[in-house]
Structure 1
Amino acid sequence: MITTDTHGQGICLVTPNMPRLTAATATAFKDEVVQMIDQGYDKLVIDLAEVSFVDSSGLGALVGLLKRVGTRGEIILCQPADSVMQMFRITRMDRVFRFLPDRAQALDALNAG
């Protein structure tokens, strides 16, 4: 369901391998990412390049991950499709999450922080 690529200092790149982050996939996605957080990876880059649609369940899963990381870490989202970004804007979640254009910039931001 996801591909992970770990980097030092608690940093993990998470790539959802699904075109839609919806009620059908959100719980499994969240559970897999929580496993990474529980292993000590509390600085996450979630690359949304392959995701073309996110519904409220998908947003809920991402918010749940943000809560799980808490103040000890950070989540950066990168490469969202226009349709996905529109959902974040409509729900005002674009003010909650940090977005960067690509995974390299997101990883650099976490390494610097």
Structure 2
Amino acid sequence: MEFETRRQDGILRIDVLSKRIDAACAIQFKDRMRDICADPPPRIVLNLRQVDFLDSSGLGAVVAVKKHLGQERSLELAGLTPKVQKVFQLTRMDSVFVIHGSADEILGGGSHAA
């Protein structure tokens, strides 16, 4: 699983470069996110613009990362595709996460490899 990251103005933007976050890669996603977020700023934006499929294992992995960050750091989501948005709505996780229309609303468009 590949990611691109960018830090700016106290925000860490993480772009997921995979089409799926599912049972086959959920553990890898969670482990890699924990590595990337080992010393993050207080605000993290996870850009899911390229993710077209998220199953319950993938959702669990995203929630686990949020829990891992604790109360002092926020995990916000951005760029949810319609299918992924539907998963967050059906599970009511859209009330748990701050969700932005796009990551570019928060930071500019460019990224630097993690």
Superposition TM-score tier, normalisation by shorter sequence = 0.7 to 0.9
Instruction: Quote the sequence identity (%).
Output: 31
Residue matched to 1:33: 33
Residue matched to 1:23: 23
Q: Which runs of 5+ in 1 are unaligned?
A: 109-113
Secondary structure in structure 2 of the residue aligned to 1:71: coil
CA RMSD of aligned residues (A): 1.8
Q: Which runs of 5+ in 2 are unaligned?
A: 109-114
The within-5 A match list for 1:38-57 is: 38-57=38-57
Question: Are residues 94 and 77 of structure 1, via their aligned partners in 2, closer, same or farther at CA, if it must alter by over 3 Å?
Answer: same
Give a deviation string over 1:53-94, Cα, whole Å, max 9, x none. Answer: 100001100110110111111111111111110011111111
- Do the aligned partners of 1:76 and 1:106 also contact (CA within 8 Å) in 2? no
The code of the aligned residue for 1:30 comes to K
Report the TM-score, using the length of structure 1 for normalisation. Answer: 0.85
Q: How many residues align?
A: 108
Give a deviation string over 1:1-33, Cα, whole Å, max 9, x none. Answer: 232323146532111121111010111111111
| Matches of 1:2 and 1:30, distance apart in 2 | 12
| Matches of 2:37 and 2:10, distance apart in 1 | 9
The code of the aligned residue for 2:96 comes to V
Secondary structure in structure 2 of the residue aligned to 1:5: strand
Runs of 4+ in structure 1 off by over 6 angstroms are none
Residue matched to 1:97: 97
Higher RCO (CA 8 Å, separation ≥ 6 residues): 2
Secondary structure in structure 1 of the residue aligned to 2:70: helix
Residue matched to 1:69: 69
Question: Are residues 56 and 74 of structure 1, via their aligned partners in 2, closer, same or farther at CA, if it must alter by over 3 Å?
Answer: same
Structure with greater helix share of residues: 1
